[in-house]
Structure 1
């Protein structure tokens, strides 16, 4: 039966129900007669639908709650219009009665939006009213509405922190708009990471579009003309994922991960196996980890590698990869022999496995044929990585606790994209030229690549700030530099310490009057960062002395070498003694600063990372 009767209802309720049903029908939404008959019985004796709670439907059955909520919402919306309620005073918006339609997702399905939206976060009545008028006039889909709502909420929050709180539209000026655009440029997700460039520019575009609508419809006659778009209101084009070099996982943490690689991919109940044995699954995931760690590719880029992803040309191995983000395909990246061996071992095993037809040409196959991508999903890999990392027995940081023991490392900092930052930071710390690193990262803007060098320089400055206070002279007396500038400009790094002899400093360390017999020079200023170099030099001097004795060299030659050995040994003993007198936390700070400066001094054109482990093939 497709009919129903409203005769049992009170006259007012009868008209309310008819209005609601007509509006639902205009939306093209299915109306179920059986459900309406049950609702009519529930409404018998009711004076008006306005008195009912939309969330407490007493009727069960197909779409009963949906019919109940929507019909009541339509009646309330009509009643508000009848009373002439100021849109700026409305604090809740029903998307259905406002005409907001569902949008189609990429898969072709229609997204379902929440029935109501809280407008309280938009604190300025003029802005809230403008949004409501725009919704009723334009009737956007839910995706456009959500983006415009986000733009209004962020603008409202920014204006509320300005003098006057943005309440008077006539008082707004260009600096207020500057503040709003700045907020869009720094818009962040709930986890604190920066939104993509596309989303941040969309916020700006939707807000300006809303203002243009209001001015065009005569709704913003009171809004100051100075509160408008200007030529300098642009969003900086820096991608979130390239912007935070500080996300890099420290190398000593990666070394700890490498030492516990064996369990990765085993006993993980959540990872879809698609017929792979536990050994094969572990082998695949561990190979993907090695590629991720050693190449610095984005998650989808290493997950989507082709089965024939290796190329040997002119004595070098290259990885063939696709830059999906920028749509630059078949890129080449030089890789180390150890990385090649890990990939080749898995390739041999991979060709023996039965995989889905869609995954036949991929190094890391998809779990099933109905997956979004024909290769391993980066989300699946990320979850497997999290399961493994969270299950490690220990993961130490370089920060000591009150007892001098290392504190635990924050495991939430370990995720696939962080290894890309580690790859870039590793090269920047090693002194790789910026143009070379740009090519390795496949960046088009040097500003993005320079982010990692800024981090390196910040670390260097911090290290100098620490070590300048621990410099000594040749007999071990404290000889601190007065400032970082003094450390950098009034001294020059020679093989075994700093030198402050003016002519040698001016010549960049190439005019030593006594040919680097530093331990006997009054201008010698070593610090703890040079201890390993001094120890190496002592070993070299001892080897020279043995050679000189074997050659039956004159006594003064052997005596000179012996005196140098004793002098340098004295430098080491006195610096070590001073270090032992320091509190444990200061010792740790000095040791970390020493590591940083040694890296900077050793900088060269390093082409590839050296942090590699043997491929997991032998253990799978």
Structure 2
């Protein structure tokens, strides 16, 4: 490297060091006792993140590394005794060898003492021995004079004085130099002085001898770790600084962390990451091939290096930059990376199957898309990718190629300029998605009972916070991230005094959502709030979280982050989860205990179980949509199962109890609809309140073009069946209430007559209800039970059609009725 290049690099490093030091808070420097002349960080012992606990033994003063509160030496002494622990720590520690060097006890003498017990430099110690005086008499003797220093030790990191005229080093470094010469490892005086570490106190981290940029990176990175609530004692930081001094690196990025332990490697990575992010902006990151997602308000990285072709890589970067702001939730960065990886598959296909390796976009054609589709099919056939990945990659490439074109990336000067229009995936290039890919992830009730019976094991293996998190996942059906990030004040009451959970839907960026919960769940939250308040009494409640982390969290503001891993370890440690299944042997049903696959037990499965539990309880699907906090009804319907065969049988049974507007049975005997009849019903009728409508114009308008303004019970195209009986009864009660209210209401005659429910309508509804009930009563008990079960299945999957009338609140189901009532919270 030329001298000019070295000089330019040095100027860049010096400028960066100044930027980092300018970003350090002066109060933080004062906290560490920092001064450029001294270049030593002194960690305050009492600081919750920088400090360290001292040994509980009186007059010990060493750092306590164990949970018992004792240092290593006192721990050994304690294990060799039989007395009480309180008596042991109250007794002063015996005299021990102490490290450290101070100036000679003679007033004004600048030389270091020989030992702590003698407290004199070597010259004064020799003089005292010759004069045969004790220390006190020697210090008072008029012949004793202060001596000048021999100078500072020439090791760059050392702040001690030389031990004599001959040696250029302090006593400790003189001894190390002698030992290294004897062992044959002495690198020479110049390297020895530059790289040898200092003799530091246990509260100090010596930064002498480090490059200015390394010093700035250490101090700024340490400040950012403390701001993030991460505990960093001096013995974690000291090995990193000593390695940087030994390697004589100009920046921490040049340091190979292989010789450090995992904890020190994580610390080194945190220091370099904090320094790199200072001054980072989206504009500065978007031109790189590996983005730090923190510049875009995300965590992790976005890696584009797998896209081989430069033009395609730049187009993908532009698409990600355009799409990322529209992505919400904690999975946004991961979703973007999966889309990038989809284009990695396209890039690999072009590289393997074209002579120019896809370097020229103007030469691409439809055949390249066909080859790409064939390669995806080949990878899926070989088992290298799943069918789901095949479908996702095809969809992602099709969607983003269209997005890139709409962004104008095919214009002159843009990455895709000249890309042919036929280089595009068509709809028929994308394989069909397997049906019912979401439903069926719920856990059977028998499995849930066994999991709940082993929650004590979960608490033993992890913590109380993890157990509470899993219980809330089971009870509420929320996403794991939503539960982990619950605030301290997440529990409130509605107007009726019923408990309501307040949470944030981070995925869709909908905040302060309200979910009705059972009293037992409210008691669980209340007990957890009490524990959190007792653990962090000095923190304001508005800053606390419900489930605080047990590490690096001195103020209770950091949430737990290891629920998924702890849950997986717990499930794997459980005994075999048995599931009772009925099998037929020799034509007879036999109940057998089969082992349930533990891979199907994961935190998100509790959300599916919550949806299935409410669907089985007959909660209308539109109400369940609100409970799940979905915008689309189809999204909710993917979370629970109503099998096609089961639904078909239920419709067949319900059809046998179908009536017209006069209450006459349309099907006098139970008939099974043919497949063609099921299809005809699907396209020849539309749902209306209390039944279905077959009027052609209203069907064509999706139920929004009723000629009689939804006076369904007076229309010849109206059909209803036994599954609508509860709706009819509710409608009748509403009509009667409306009539009584209007009779007492003061209004013009024409307005009252228009709004008053007619006697004919009330009579017709009463007659219809009576005929349905009568026919139900005429059935046998077995037939009636079958009809009731069929009605439950049909109503579970039905989208309720209303006329904008108020709805009754959804029932709150307690998934664990074995828990104590709310006045006996779990301890």
User: Normalising by the residue count of structure 2, what TM-score does the alignment of the two structures yield?
Assistant: 0.38
Structure with bigger helix share is 1
Bigger relative contact order, structure 1 or 2 (CA pairs below 8 A, ≥6 apart): 1
User: Normalising by the residue count of structure 1, what TM-score does the alignment of the two structures yield?
Assistant: 0.49
Whose Rg is larger?
2
